[in-house]
């Protein structure tokens, strides 16, 4: 409805009837007159006079609530007190609709049964008899849980944002590159003529690993680290250290890359002509109490025996040629050698380690001992 003044300064009354269209798009009827909406009265079939608030339904509480909600969608800053009530009423309606849908699902799951248990609750086709106040209390409890869930989600989102912001502000110290570390190690080993060692005390090794800062957040607090031994096979020890602050997991091993220490021990027994019992006692004396088992030790030796024999034969042949060449140069007709052999096992030996010892002096060599292994 609208009232305007025409060119002759007369009041003009215009109206449009949209029927049941709450979005005001489909026009049912409209009118224009100059006598206080007389065409509207005729359209509505009014036989007597009505006040405009009564005619528009402004005395009806439901109509007023609907109009206020419609206005709030366009102008949310007005009706401050009523706005909260309207939102609360909408939540009640949504909760009721949700409860109705859930009741249909519960009933659908009890097609052939009158009574059943769902989510730990005893349910039946007739439902649970409750008063209106009890139903209201359930709706309030459900909304409280929803509100708490939303608050937890918002808190979690803020904490994540704070962690990301902190990580962006904190400048981590530059970590040394592996190439730089290798260069430093080479310099130290060459200058000191240290050579190589594989014997490291287990307690010392684990303490060094735990004292290492996290590669991601550089935290060194032991309370924020979780350590787990993932493998303990023979002489090998693998550790998994997880930082509880940044969830960074790092793997550490006492074995060099591509090296199996248990296999190296088995090879040492073959080349040195030492059986497993003697080698085990020798390792135990220097503190290596965790050693490979008997079957594992012999399996390694079975794999290594042929390559070792081939290498020993090549080495012996090369050295024999050098000795013979030397003896010819000094006109010595005989080749003085001694021979020794030792078994690699206590009993049921499959392999033996033989040693050819040249009983003489070769220029540039203090002594010559060549090994050969045979089955």
Q: What was the pLDDT predicted at 226?
A: 86
18, 28 Cβ separation under 8 angstroms: yes
Q: How many CA atoms lie within 13 A of 144 on its CB side?
A: 6
Residue 284, CA distances (Å) to 233, 292, 297, 323 in order: 16, 12, 15, 39
CA-based nearest residue to 253, from 198, 216, 295:
198
Q: Is 12 helix (H, G, I), strand (E, B) or coil?
A: strand
Task: Please give the Cα distance from 278 to 343 (Å, whole number).
Answer: 11
Q: What was the pLDDT predicted at 14?
A: 92
pLDDT tens figures, 174-199: 655 566 767 777 777 777 666 666 66
Q: Which two tokens stand for residue 173?
A: 């110290």
Residue spans per domain, the chain: 2-86, 108-167, 295-374
Q: What was the pLDDT predicted at 349?
A: 52
Buried b (16+ CB within 10 A) or exposed e, 89-117: eeeeeebeeeeeeeeeebeeeeeeeeeee
pLDDT tens figures, 260-318: 777 777 777 777 767 777 778 877 877 777 777 777 777 777 777 788 778 878 888 88
Burial group, residue 292, by CB count within 10 angstroms (0-12, 13-18, 19+): buried
Residue 10, CA distances (Å) to 6, 41, 100, 348 in order: 5, 20, 56, 129
Q: Is 334 helix (H, G, I), strand (E, B) or coil?
A: coil
105, 123 Cβ separation under 8 angstroms: no
Strands annotated E in the chain: 2-5, 11-17, 29-33, 115-118, 121-124, 225-233, 236-243, 249-253, 337-343, 352-358, 369-374
Task: Please give the Cα distance from 304 to 277 (Å, whole number).
Answer: 18
CA-based nearest residue to 370, from 330, 312, 322:
312
Q: What was the pLDDT predicted at 30?
A: 92
Task: Please list the residues that pair with 124 across neighbouring strands.
Answer: 115
344, 273 Cβ separation under 8 angstroms: yes
In sign, the C-alpha dihedral spanning 272, 263, 320, 349 is positive
Averaged over successive runs of 10 residues, the pLDDT of the chain (375 residues) comes to 88 90 86 86 80 79 79 72 73 86 84 78 83 88 89 90 78 61 74 66 80 82 84 77 87 78 77 75 77 77 78 83 84 81 56 72 62 42
Q: Give the Cβ contact number of residue 300 at 10 Å.
A: 21
Q: What was the pLDDT predicted at 250?
A: 87
Three-state DSSP string of 252-284: EECCCCCCCHHHHHHHHHHHHCCCHHHHHHHHH
305, 270 Cβ separation under 8 angstroms: yes
Task: Please give the Cα distance from 362 to 87 (Å, whole number).
Answer: 104
36, 52 Cβ separation under 8 angstroms: no
Task: Please list the residues that pair with 314 across neighbouring strands.
Answer: none
Q: What was the pLDDT predicted at 302?
A: 78
Q: Which two tokens stand for residue 58?
A: 């402004």
Q: What was the pLDDT predicted at 375?
A: 39
pTM for the model: 0.37
Q: Which two tokens stand for residue 134?
A: 């009890």
């Amino acid at each position: 409805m609208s009232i305007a003044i025409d060119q002759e300064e007369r009041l003009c009354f215009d109206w449009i009837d949209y029927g049941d269209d709450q979005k005001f798009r489909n026009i049912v009827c409209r009118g224009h007159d100059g006598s206080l909406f007389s065409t509207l009265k005729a359209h509505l079939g009014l036989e007597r006079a009505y006040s405009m608030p009564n005619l528009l339904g402004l005395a009806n509480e439901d109509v007023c609530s609907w109009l206020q909600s419609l206005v709030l969608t366009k102008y949310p800053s007005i009706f401050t007190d009523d706005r909260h009530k309207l939102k609360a009423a909408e939540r009640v309606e949504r909760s009721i609709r949700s409860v109705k849908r859930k009741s249909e699902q519960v009933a659908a799951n009890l097609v052939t049964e009158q009574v059943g248990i769902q989510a730990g609750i005893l349910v039946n086709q007739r439902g649970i008899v409750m008063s209106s106040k009890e139903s209201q209390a359930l709706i309030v409890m459900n909304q409280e849980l929803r509100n708490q869930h939303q608050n937890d989600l918002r808190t979690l989102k803020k904490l994540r944002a704070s962690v990301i912001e902190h990580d962006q502000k904190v400048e981590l110290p530059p970590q040394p590159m592996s190439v730089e570390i290798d260069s430093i190690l080479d310099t130290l080993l060459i200058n000191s003529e240290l050579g190589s060692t594989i014997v490291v005390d287990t307690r010392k090794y684990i303490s060094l690993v735990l004292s290492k800062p996290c590669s991601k957040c550089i935290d060194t607090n032991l309370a924020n680290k979780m350590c787990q031994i993932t493998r303990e096979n023979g002489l090998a020890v693998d550790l998994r250290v997880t930082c509880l602050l940044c969830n960074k997991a790092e793997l550490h091993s006492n074995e060099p890359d591509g090296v199996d220490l248990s296999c190296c021990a088995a090879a040492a027994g073959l080349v040195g002509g030492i059986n497993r019992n003697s080698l085990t006692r020798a390792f135990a004396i220097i503190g290596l109490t965790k050693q490979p088992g008997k079957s594992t030790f012999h399996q390694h030796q079975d794999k290594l025996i042929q390559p070792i024999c081939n290498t020993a034969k090549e080495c012996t042949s090369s050295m024999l040629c050098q000795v013979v060449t030397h003896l010819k140069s000094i006109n010595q007709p005989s080749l003085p050698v001694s021979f020794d052999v030792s078994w690699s096992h206590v009993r049921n030996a499959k392999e033996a380690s033989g040693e050819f010892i040249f009983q003489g002096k070769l220029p540039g060599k203090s002594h010559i001992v060549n090994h050969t292994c045979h089955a």
